[in-house]
Amino acid sequence: MNTFNCMFGWILLLGVLMSPVSCQDEESVISVCQEEDNDLRVDCLLEPKPNYHTDYEFSMSKGQKETIISTNISGIMPEPKFRHNTIVTELEPYGFRLIIMSFTITENTTFICKVTKLQRTLFVELESIQPCSATSVFLLGYPWLSLLVPLCIIHL
């Protein structure tokens, strides 16, 4: 029984250490990656303010010009070239994912995400854009799964 308690303690400790830290710094709130089918994905994990209607706006800036890509804010229109090739989905427990179909950046670009009066930006260098990883997206959506990893290690 004592061995079981010790093993349970180690599993719990490993699970906690492997869990993502729940703080919202610039890099964990907004991410940009290129999907295999050449779509560009922007994830914005801003937690909206309570008691507000959840508005979102995705835009990008190259130099001094800001271009609106997609929004649900009344009275604001996205750039015409983005009106029919973008999809925005709501993420759980909060946040939004923008997919720009068949789109790649051609120069250094700043992506801007606004959710209910909160704003975050991410500067992306042309050479540094990463491919999207299905595994990291899966674990991002279900962080509790990282707690199961130590159990798998013990069974090996």
pLDDT in tens, 20-56: 333 344 457 999 999 999 999 999 999 888 878 889 9
Report pLDDT for 115: 93
pLDDT above 70 coverage of the chain, percent: 67
Strands ordered across the beta sheet of 118-124: 65-71, 56-62, 109-115, 118-124
**What is the spatial distance between Cα 117 and Cα 99, in angstroms, rounded to a whole number?**
22
Report pLDDT for 130: 93
Report pLDDT for 114: 95
Which of the four CATH numbers 1.10.287.130, 3.40.50.2000, 3.30.1490.100, 2.60.40.10 does domain 23-138 have?
2.60.40.10
Distance spanning both ends of the chain, measured CA to CA: 21
Residues ≥6 apart with Cβ < 8 Å to 8: none
Report pLDDT for 53: 84
Report pLDDT for 13: 36
Averaged in consecutive runs of 10 residues, what is the pLDDT profile of the chain (156 residues)? 49 38 54 96 92 91 94 95 96 96 95 93 94 63 51 52
Report pLDDT for 44: 97
Domain edges within the chain:
23-138
